[in-house]
Amino acid sequence: MSVSLSRKRKKELRRLQGTANRVLEAQREVAAEAADVARAAGRQLSAINQEVLAPEARRKYHEYLEPYVERAQPYVESGYRKGKKFFDGRVIPAAGGVIGRAIGAYDATAEKLGKRTIVVEPPKKKSSAGAVIAAVLGIAAAVGIFVVAWKTLSAEDELWVADEAVAAPDA
């Protein structure tokens, strides 16, 4: 089944297609300009972050959080030493004893059944809890910085964008 269109209909369709192409091109131009504005806004936000937010966050951290971190440091170190002593003195020997007995029982059973025995390799180097403590302190510092930035931004109405159009500053 073929559809034949009249000359008038074909002419109207070509005109409609041309209009659609012009609208599409205008939308592409608007999208490109919007992308340029978004990039410029991103650069400005980065500059504001470096010039205003980061120094203020550092100042607030040193003013409010650093004294608590310094006061907590001996307790953290003491807790780490006690935990390491307990883990090294109680947990590791108990776990080693349980695993040793289980492997011994397996080996005895394997010998009776004529199967291969388990070969135990020496343990690898232990990792310390220092990395965990450093990560916890880093997360606490990041949360503190986030709270300070949030309070700073929520307290100053001048940092928010106004509803009316913004005029360029006089240079």
Res 82: pLDDT = 87
Would residue 133 count as lying in a domain?
A: no
Q: Is residue 70 part of a domain?
A: yes
Q: What is the pLDDT of residue 116?
A: 65
Full domain range(s) for residue 75: 8-117
Spatial contact of 169 and 163, defined as CB atoms under 8 Å apart: no
Does 46 map to a domain?
yes
Q: Does 109 reside within a domain?
A: yes
Taking the C-alpha atoms of residue 79 and residue 100, their distance in angstroms, rounded to an integer, is: 30
Residue 103 to residue 109: CA distance in whole angstroms: 10
Residue at 144 is within a domain:
no
Helix (H, G, I), strand (E, B) or coil at 71: helix
Residue 15 has a pLDDT of 92
Question: Which parts of the chain have pLDDT scores under 70?
Answer: 1-2, 115-120, 123, 125-127, 152-171
- What is the model's pLDDT at position 171? 44
CB 84 within 8 A of CB 129: yes
Q: How many domains does the chain have?
A: 1
Q: Which residue has the tokens 């012009």?
A: 22
Torsion of CA 30, 36, 37, 41, to 10 degrees: 160
Domain for residue 65, yes or no?
Answer: yes
Q: Is residue 155 part of a domain?
A: no
